Amino acid sequence: MAAAPDTVAWVRPPEPIRGLDHLGVQAPCIALYGQLLPGITNVTDRARYYSFHPWVLWAFERQYSDHSVDEFRRVLRRAECLFALIAIRHARVIGDRDDGLHGRAMVGRDKLLRIEEDADGFALEDYATLEGPNRYFKNKLGGLGQYYFGPLRDLRVLDHHEGAGYPGYDDQRGRKLAEAFASAVPEDAFFRVLEQETTTWEELDELVAFCPCGLRDNTAEHELLLDLFLARTELFQGDGGTTRRASLGLMLDLASQQSRDPEYALERLLRGAAYTGALVDGAAWQVTEAHQRVLRGWGTYQRNELLSISVQGLFAAVLRAIERDEASKIRQASEAAEVAVRLLSSFGANLKLPLDALVTRVRGSLPALADWKHEDHELQRGWRLQSLRLDDDTNLEEIARESVEILLALLARGVDEYPYGDFELDPEYFDPREVHLLSLRHTSKNEWTGLTVEAWIRWVAVQWGVARHLRVALRKLRGERRDTFRIRPLEGELRVVEAPAPVFTIPRVSRAQQILRDLGLVEYDAEGVMVLTDRGRTELEACRVG
């Protein structure tokens, strides 16, 4: 007989977190925009970090004899703080209210803004330290480790440094960028200030060449970064470079159009124009052959986004209605169907129609695809859905209605046999049990055939809603030990934790827009509309050729 254990311990349960993508419907969208803008992510905000970080590595080897991991971390963290402080200082000195050319989105900026403008001096170490209340970043490698290393590695600018314990630079791409950066900045003065115990704002003035706005004054660096982002030379045309070039060229093309509306930022313009093939005034968007494939790709991405937000919206409305009407609990997932039907009682007699009949009716009444400013267009419904406050009980019926109307519009417009043909994705990536455009097409022709509208709503609310969420949350709990339940299974009931608001993904367009501005290809006019600069027109013409 085995001996009794000396101690008994409780197993600590996973800590509940909010998590993301509670239905697993955003994953296809993220995969699509990742292929459309390789090398740019949602945290790579500024173009000059793509040359600054290789330069820090290259200069560290030359400026310091101690190449230990701890020494590199110390220097890197101080360098990132100093880089951001130079940009903050320069904007203040020249009185530029538009910080987009200077300190905006610089690594550590929020913490560094705590230093008063009239401070006699400050210690970089207070902010570069690995511990303490003013620490600018938890990651030991700062913004490089947290944000930029992955993209720079994918672009083969940086890589893991064998045996060093910190990143190394590629001898072709990385070294060229580092040397170009160094060609027009006072390197020795930078490291002198970096090593001082205290620094004054005035001492940063001699380092103004490091400000991101100085990029365009450094011809060698500027041209090399244009080569990188626009894949202008063979050195940078691999690793998705040609697709990145096409996407950035497409954005430049959009900025060049006479059709404009100050109410629409570039991301919304791109979503609308790519999905419909029409500009904001309804005119056809004519692009050259070099941009046609990527234009179709962005259109597919947006179509997938509409599917995603429609399913999210109905799920959110159902959970909030359970909170409002059912004391936050139901006994089993199938009861979500009743909740959904009540939310959509405004469909009236249409609930008894065959789904195919309602889809045919919707097809006849939809605004023209190109008329995407029409209030009944599915794009406008998607933006409206995202703006409706989920914590307002009076919005729940409208949220549910907008969600179903978007789904009906997608069915009415039709789905291609294989809508992902412009992407390099293994067909097996699109598991038929997941929610994406292929499963929408398949399910509409199989499981939904012969259903009434009411039965269809019941199916979606359960199979693509509550039951699906439980499967996704259980998968995350089993595989990642993360509790992301928004409706938690308890003994004899399912209890709502919190309804997640329906949202679109963030497709890196705003980051690309800032990078285009850093490169001097775009600027903003008096109405805040993005327009091309002379250099932008030159690069656009080159991109149109291919």
| β-bridge partners, 167 | 160
pLDDT for the residue numbered 15? 66
Q: Hey, what are 94's tokens? A: 């020249």
pLDDT for the residue numbered 3? 55
Q: Is residue 193 domain-shared with residue 108, that is, in the same domain?
A: yes
When pLDDT is averaged across residues 301-319 and rounded to a whole number, the result is 98
pLDDT for the residue numbered 434? 94
Q: Is residue 281 domain-shared with residue 315, that is, in the same domain?
A: no
Q: Per the domain annotation, does 348 fall within a domain?
A: yes
pLDDT for the residue numbered 13? 62
Taking a C-beta distance cutoff of 8 angstroms, is the pair 26, 308 a contact?
yes
Q: pTM here? A: 0.94
Q: Is residue 57 domain-shared with residue 79, that is, in the same domain?
A: yes
Segment 375-428, tens digit of pLDDT:
999 999 999 999 999 999 999 999 999 999 999 999 999 999 999 999 998 888
Q: Per the domain annotation, does 1 fall within a domain?
A: no
pLDDT, the chain, mean: 94
Could you list the residue range(s) of the whole structural domain that residue 380 is in? 299-496
Q: Per the domain annotation, does 63 fall within a domain?
A: yes
- Given a cut of 60, whether residue 537 has pLDDT beyond it is yes
pLDDT for the residue numbered 546? 83
Q: Per the domain annotation, does 7 fall within a domain?
A: no
**Could you say which DSSP state residue 257 is in?**
-
Q: Per the domain annotation, does 245 fall within a domain?
A: no
Q: Hey, what are 457's tokens? A: 């709503």
Residue (of 315, 350, 270) closest to 498 by Cα position: 315
User: CA 415, CA 418: separation in Å to the nearest integer?
Assistant: 8
Q: Is residue 229 domain-shared with residue 80, that is, in the same domain?
A: yes
- Given a cut of 70, whether residue 542 has pLDDT beyond it is yes
Segment 216-259, tens digit of pLDDT:
999 999 999 999 999 999 999 988 999 999 999 999 999 999 98
pLDDT for the residue numbered 4? 53
Q: Is residue 284 domain-shared with residue 305, that is, in the same domain?
A: no
pLDDT band at 172 (very low <50, low <70, confident <90, very high): very high
- Given a cut of 70, whether residue 156 has pLDDT beyond it is yes
Q: What phi and psi values does residue 75 have, to the nearest 5 degrees?
A: -70, -45
Which of 458, 474, 496 is the last residue in one of the domains? 496
Q: Is residue 356 domain-shared with residue 262, that is, in the same domain?
A: no
Q: Is residue 59 domain-shared with residue 197, that is, in the same domain?
A: yes
CATH number at residue 277: 1.10.10
The beta-strand segments (E) located in 133-234 are 158-160, 167-169
Sorted by sequence, the CB contacts under 8 Å of residue 59 that are 6+ apart come out as: 178, 182, 187, 191
pLDDT for the residue numbered 414? 96
Taking a C-beta distance cutoff of 8 angstroms, is the pair 339, 322 a contact?
yes
Segment 42-65, tens digit of pLDDT:
999 999 999 999 999 999 999 999
The helix (run of H) or strand (run of E) holding residue 487 is strand 487-490
Q: Is residue 306 domain-shared with residue 350, that is, in the same domain?
A: yes
Q: Is residue 389 domain-shared with residue 466, that is, in the same domain?
A: yes
Q: Per the domain annotation, does 399 fall within a domain?
A: yes
Sign of the CA dihedral running 351, 352, 354, 359: negative
When pLDDT is averaged across residues 115-142 and rounded to a whole number, the result is 94
| β-bridge partners, 488 | 495
Q: Per the domain annotation, does 10 fall within a domain?
A: no
Q: Is residue 218 domain-shared with residue 335, that is, in the same domain?
A: no
| β-bridge partners, 168 | 159
Segment 469-514, tens digit of pLDDT:
999 999 999 988 889 999 999 999 999 999 999 999 999 999 999 9
Sorted by sequence, the CB contacts under 8 Å of residue 90 that are 6+ apart come out as: 102, 103, 204, 208, 211, 213
Q: Is residue 229 domain-shared with residue 330, that is, in the same domain?
A: no
Helices marked H in 95-172: 109-112, 124-128, 142-143, 149-154
Q: Hey, what are 372's tokens? A: 């995407």
The helix (run of H) or strand (run of E) holding residue 489 is strand 487-490
Q: Is residue 334 domain-shared with residue 444, that is, in the same domain?
A: yes
Taking a C-beta distance cutoff of 8 angstroms, is the pair 135, 127 a contact?
yes
Q: Which amino acid is at 151?
A: P
**Total number of domains constituting the chain:** 3
User: CA 250, CA 291: separation in Å to the nearest integer?
Assistant: 6
Segment 192-204, tens digit of pLDDT:
999 999 999 999 9
- Given a cut of 80, whether residue 78 has pLDDT beyond it is yes
Q: Per the domain annotation, does 519 fall within a domain?
A: yes
**Could you say which DSSP state residue 208 is in?**
G
Which of 236, 265, 280 is the last residue in one of the domains? 236
